[in-house]
Amino acid sequence: MFDRTLKLIEKETFMKIQKTRILLIGLGGVGGYTLECLLRSGFQNITVIDGDTFEISNMNRQILCLTDTLGQNKVDAAKKRAELINPNCNLIAIHKTLIKEEITKEFISSYNYIIDACDSKEVKIALMRECHKHHIKLISSMGTANRLSPEMLCITTLKNTTNDPLAKVIRKELRNEPAINTPVVSSLELPKKQKELGTIINVPMSAGVLLASYIIKDIQKETTY
């Protein structure tokens, strides 16, 4: 099923992709598309964590949300989809909402990459601190709500983000820890000012693709773990 992939990337790189261990935190509008890209790129060792279930309001932007998955745990729907896309995938589904106190060396040390697609500012900050401390590769998604322009998204670092209120809050929290400069997916677009958060599929979908793309490109640059 990966014949077309192997026409574009070297076999050695693809073998590394298959062996890479990934932890994906969050399976919403961003994380669902990240998982889709990982599965269709050949990643086989993925752990997903999310404590939510699907509801009708998710339908407009979340690839795992279908009429027949409404009411299901997001991680259960993810596991079923993974098996349908690539039966060789070893996807571990953990139905829980992470809290910052659970982000420890023991929790993260078995993964080659961690992808943060969660909504919790506290968890994001804890991940940045622990991954930096223990030299574990992390990429984190910043805000995608109240935006309309996927072309304004980019892969950058936390310190280089602009027009991103969430990133600004995180930078402020980490201002006394200048060595922490995590890779992030962030938008240069100013979010619309409104009382309630709104989201349209093209922005979180594109953010999810960029998260997966970062890992593929990073593996291509690496010769050993």
> Could you give the CA distance from residue 97 to residue 15 in angstroms, rounded to a whole number?
32
What pLDDT shows up at residue 56?
A: 98
Q: Is the pLDDT of residue 223 over 60?
A: no
What pLDDT shows up at residue 222?
A: 60
What pLDDT shows up at residue 221?
A: 86
Residue tagged 């201002």 (tokens): 175
pLDDT tens profile 153-203: 999 999 999 999 999 999 999 999 999 999 999 999 999 999 899 999 999
> Could you give the CA distance from residue 23 to residue 34 in angstroms, rounded to a whole number?
11
- Domain residue ranges in the chain: 3-221
DSSP 73: B
pLDDT tens profile 20-55: 999 999 999 999 999 999 999 999 999 999 999 999
- What are φ and ψ of residue 111, in 5° steps? -110, 145
Q: Which fold has domain 3-221?
A: Rossmann fold (3.40.50)
Cβ atoms of 182 and 156 within 8 Å: the answer is no
Chain centroid offset of residue 62 CA: 13
Q: Is the pLDDT of residue 215 over 50?
A: yes
